[in-house]
């Protein structure tokens, strides 16, 4: 009889505990902190240990800071973002904002566990925030269904730490540039209070990395740009006039023909729509036949249009765990943070390695030093443009180049605005001398990879 009662008592105890925890929704205020809820966190913060920071003093204040004050911004609510939100919320961080411009696709459901089939088509940020808020009592996740570029400096200044779970190097670099722009200096000395730590995680298949960036102090994203595989971008002049590769033909159909012909009305090109991909594939084949180019396939068209990056759930989990751990270390000052780059690889077995990435003295983002451009006067502007996009240390996507001539601001080339691109396109075939540029001339270059304009100094070579 006693043996029969044990399972029933256990079932009731679990039910009571579940109700008390409000696991499936209900209470969202601080009053739901039941006894022992944060014991797992207190073990790290309220007692000394062999791995704690040398200056760490155990106290109850650190936990209260996590629960009541510390504001975290998570950028991206996809594979990494879902894991990050879950980890941070369960670690005691309650004031979390999440930014993501994407909506949920059915292909996300195999690994982005905060989403369900009923959520397909809805904004990722909103669904993820609702799930965490309903699942974890007391947590207040604020969603933003926007681009990171839609926010100004005042928005980013409010956060203690920013965590990136992005699949775009361009977005990483923009965020990196924003945090660098928030730094303040007094007599050339960096004000530590203006530093907002950036924790960045990235995955591709079975490989991943996590890094800790203290803007102005440690290596930034652009300092180690060579570590990222260059994103393939083709100069507009080549796409429009001199295609040589099948990718040029696909990009011609995607960038130039789609907005001009509008085959599906005002609808934007959707890489997940088979009809859209088929239309681009057909136009690309026509373009390839015109220039005797082979190799345009439906699969290649998909890859070029969608910029496909493979994703594995277990890799996301490992890297998100590493990033969340670094957030906890920095927020509590209880442990020494990663210094400053972690590599993870489980393609064959399991391999991890950490090293200190070094700052570049001439980094285009954080060095505050004008960059040198060395070209002969006979070089064409197209060559300068290709250098800005192909150079491993710059890897710009669509640079806009302006300068000052005879006291007036002049746009040499700008790709993002159609009318200005058409007007300035002839400049690409002109030499620097023909454009009126001189040795020592300053060129201001704007690009989607940074919120700031990058200054270059033109040095003529023989």
From the CB of residue 296, how many other CB atoms can be counted at a distance below 10 Å? 25
Instruction: Identify the residue whose tokens are 């670094």.
Output: 326
Rounded-to-integer distance, Cα 150 and Cα 64, Å:
32
The residues near 131 (Cβ < 8 Å, ≥ 6 apart) are: 114, 115
DSSP per-residue letters across 288-324: HHHTT-----HHHHHHHHHT-----HHHHHHHHHHHH
- Residue 402, beta-bridge partner list: 411, 444
| Cis preceding-peptide flag for 296 (omega within 30 of 0) | no
Assigned token pair, 24: 């499936």
Q: How far is CA 191 from the centre of its chain?
A: 26
Integer angstrom CA distances of residue 412 from 319, 385, 403, 426, 444: 42, 11, 7, 10, 10
Rounded-to-integer distance, Cα 110 and Cα 113, Å:
7
Is 237 annotated as catalytic? yes
Ramachandran angles phi, psi of 63, nearest 5° = -65, -40
Q: How far is CA 266 from the centre of its chain?
A: 28
Integer angstrom CA distances of residue 333 from 66, 96, 337: 11, 19, 8
Q: Say if CB 123 and CB 149 are below 8 A apart.
A: no
Q: Give, to the nearest 10 degrees, the angle between helix 298-306 and helix 274-290.
A: 110
Q: Give, to the nearest 10 degrees, the angle between helix 313-332 and helix 79-90.
A: 40
Nearest-CA neighbor of 428 among 458, 374, 387? 387
- SS3 at position 73: strand
- Residue 165, beta-bridge partner list: 201
List the catalytic residue out of 237, 249, 363, 366.
237
Q: How far is CA 196 from the centre of its chain?
A: 16
Q: N- to C-terminal Cα distance for the chain?
A: 98
Catalytic residues, which ones? 237
């Amino acid at each position: 009889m006693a043996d029969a009662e044990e399972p029933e008592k256990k079932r009731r105890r679990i039910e009571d505990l579940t109700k008390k925890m409000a696991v499936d929704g209900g209470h969202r205020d601080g009053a739901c902190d039941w006894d022992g809820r944060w014991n797992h966190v207190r073990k790290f913060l309220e007692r000394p240990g062999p791995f704690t920071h040398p200056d760490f003093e155990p106290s109850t204040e650190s936990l209260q800071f996590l629960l009541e004050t510390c504001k975290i911004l998570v950028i991206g609510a996809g594979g990494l973002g879902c894991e990050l939100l879950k980890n941070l919320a369960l670690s005691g961080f309650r004031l979390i904002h999440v930014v993501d411009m994407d909506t949920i696709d059915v292909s996300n459901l195999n690994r982005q566990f905060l989403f369900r089939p009923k959520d397909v088509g809805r904004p990722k940020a909103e669904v993820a925030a609702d799930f965490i808020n309903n699942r974890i009592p007391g947590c207040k996740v604020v969603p933003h269904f926007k681009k990171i570029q839609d926010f100004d400096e005042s928005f980013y200044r409010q956060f203690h730490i920013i965590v990136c779970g992005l699949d775009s190097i361009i977005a990483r670099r923009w965020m990196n540039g924003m945090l660098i722009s928030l730094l303040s200096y007094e007599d050339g000395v960096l004000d530590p209070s203006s530093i907002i730590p950036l924790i960045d995680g990235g995955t591709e298949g079975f490989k991943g990395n996590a890094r800790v960036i203290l803007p102005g102090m440690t290596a930034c994203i652009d300092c180690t740009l060579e570590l990222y595989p260059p994103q393939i971008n083709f100069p507009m002049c080549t796409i429009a006039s001199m295609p040589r590769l099948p990718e040029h033909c696909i990009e011609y159909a995607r960038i130039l023909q789609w907005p001009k012909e509008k085959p599906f009305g005002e609808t934007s090109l959707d890489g997940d729509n088979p009809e859209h991909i088929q239309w681009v594939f057909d136009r690309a084949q026509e373009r390839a036949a015109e220039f005797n180019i082979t190799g345009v396939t439906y699969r290649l068209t998909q890859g070029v249009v969608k910029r496909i990056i493979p994703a594995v759930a277990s890799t996301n989990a490992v890297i998100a765990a590493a990033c969340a751990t670094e957030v906890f270390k920095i927020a509590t000052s209880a442990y020494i943070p990663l210094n400053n780059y972690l590599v993870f690889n489980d393609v064959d077995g399991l391999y991890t390695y950490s090293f200190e990435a070094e700052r570049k003295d001439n980094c285009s983002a954080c060095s505050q030093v004008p960059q040198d451009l060395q070209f002969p006067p006979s070089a064409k502007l197209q060559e300068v443009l290709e250098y800005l996009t192909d150079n491993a240390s710059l890897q710009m996507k669509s640079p806009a180049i302006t300068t000052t001539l005879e006291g007036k601001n002049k746009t040499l080339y700008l790709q993002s605005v159609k009318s200005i691109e058409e007007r300035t396109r002839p400049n690409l075939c002109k030499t620097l001398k023909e454009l009126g540029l001189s040795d020592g001339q300053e060129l201001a270059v704007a690009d989607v990879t940074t919120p700031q304009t990058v200054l270059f100094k033109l040095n003529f070579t023989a």
